[in-house]
A = this chain, B = another copy of it.
Amino acid sequence: MQYIKIMEAINEQIDAGLLTAGNKLPAERKLAESFNTTRITLRESLALLESEGKLYREDRRGWFVSPEPLRYDPTLTTNFSSMATDQGRVARSELLDAKLVPASRRAASLLSVSPFTEVYRIDRLRFLDERPVMVVTNFILPEYFPNLLELDVTTSLTDTYREHYNTLYAKTRYRVSTTSLLGETAQALRATAGSPAMFIERLNYDQHGRMIDCDLEYWRHDALSIESVATLSKG
């Protein structure tokens, strides 16, 4: 159980403040040497700290100490940007793509439309304090948002809906699970293939109770903690 001991040793350095948020760890070979072990064993320790959310990896760049997670309340309309600002963080988004496409199987099933129905698809990469932390794909029903792509979609969707279509988010159905990052998603987040991730699926309804769009969000799992308050109802 050597790798547990190494994990604890690194953990202590983080808790003691010797390694602070954003710091890069020494090279794996150096760490392995200083703990008198091999790279494989050392990497086991690092993977453990990664899955606890204490460290994260940037593909081929090394290991870093994780900053505080963003507190995410799925029951607030607050968008990503104001959520971050409210918590004293700096948010930024990059538009990856925006186009009209035939609904993917997953999107069709979520939005209850037949496969290949045309929907808007908007892909964004979200940064928190200049670290890429989330990739989100929105599938939007065009019937409620004619000519959406002619507007400025680089800003908040919430704002665009409100300002141009008099539409508000009123209800959301969400699902949270864990998964791992692969392919383009991993690349966009500068993550190594297989990094642990949180997956959040949201299905959104407007003030008239109509389903208007859905979100598929892939988060670096150390970057968020989901927090909310609920008034309980009987199941």
Binding site for B on A (CB under 8 A): 1, 4, 40, 44, 47-48, 51-53, 69, 73-78, 82-83, 86, 169-180, 182, 193-194, 196, 198, 221-222, 224-235
Contacts and interface: CB of A to CB of B under 8 A. Distances in A.
> Chain copies in the assembly?
2
Given A51-B194, A196-B51, A232 B169 contact: yes
Contacts of A230: 74-75, 171-174, 228
Given A4-B193, A194-B51, A235 B178 contact: no
A129 to B, nearest CB: 19
Contact of A232 (B47, B76, B177, B179): B76
B235 A173 contact: no
A226 B176 contact: yes
Given A172-B232, A231-B171, A232-B171, A1 B193 contact: yes
9 contacts: A51-B196, A75-B233, A76-B232, A170-B232, A174-B228, A174-B230, A175-B225, A176-B225, A176-B226
B48 A180 contact: yes
A174 to B, nearest CB: 6
Nearest to A51: B180
Nearest to A198: B178
Given A170-B232, A175-B225, A176-B176, 7 more contacts: A4-B182, A52-B180, A75-B231, A77-B234, A174-B230, A177-B226, A226-B226
Nearest to A78: B235
